Amino acid sequence: MNDFQFETEELLSTLQTLLGLQEALIGTLEQERAALKAQSYTHLVEATEQKSAVCQQIEERLSALPAPVADLVEQVPAEARQNLDAHHTRLRALAREAKDLNAVNGKIVHRSQRSVRELIGVLNGHDAYALYGAEGTSARSPDNLGPAIANA
């Protein structure tokens, strides 16, 4: 076996490992979303810790490579690249899915934080539902007013 074949097999193994880690990350992000929706602090902490651990494993695996995955796949001759291309395409798709799931979870967290801030404002005697400020201008952004008012 020559060095190039070993490197190709090692790259294939790395891609398979990264695929498994990305799938684990997606599962963890789905658990995180369920915990957010259920407002379960315990499950949210567990999911967040798992997400952090999986992300660290992915980062360690990628940083151990001599170049970005796409560059390494491109260096392999076309006749030996078919499996690598399929794995790399799947890896990119899973990475996009994980990014999208993480963005949705972030939006859920943001909305929850906003709701908590508004509730604290009400408890502190601030009028969280004022539509207009003292100058007569809108006190709230259009996305907070609802579609009927925002589109009027």
Is residue 148 a part of any domain in this protein? no
d(CA 99, CA 66): 24
Is residue 149 a part of any domain in this protein? no
Average pLDDT over residues 3-30: 89
pLDDT score at 150: 46
Is residue 23 a part of any domain in this protein? yes
Domain of 85, in residue numbers: 3-126
The CA-to-CA distance between both ends of the chain, in Å, stands at 72
Summarised one tens digit per residue, pLDDT across range 43-67 is: 999 999 999 999 999 999 999 999 9
Summarised one tens digit per residue, pLDDT across range 94-117 is: 999 999 999 999 998 888 777 777
Is residue 8 a part of any domain in this protein? yes
Residue 122's Cβ-side half-sphere holds a number of Cα atoms within 13 Å equal to 9
Is residue 20 a part of any domain in this protein? yes
**Would the pTM of this model clear 0.85, i.e. be above it?**
no
* % the chain with pLDDT above 90: 57
pLDDT level of residue 4 (50, 70, 90 thresholds): low
Chain centroid to CA 37: 16
Is residue 147 a part of any domain in this protein? no
Question: Would you say residue 1 has pLDDT above 50?
Answer: no
**Pair of tokens at residue 103:** 């963005």
Q: In total, how many domains does the chain have?
A: 1
Q: Which of 118, 136, 121, 116 is nearest to 39 (CA)?
A: 116
pLDDT score at 7: 87
Average pLDDT over residues 74-81: 88
Q: Give 24's contacts (C-beta < 8 A, 6+ positions apart).
A: 54
In this structure, how many other beta carbons lie within 10 angstroms of the beta carbon of residue 87?
19
- Give just the sign of the alpha carbon dihedral 136, 141, 144, 145: positive
Is residue 81 a part of any domain in this protein? yes
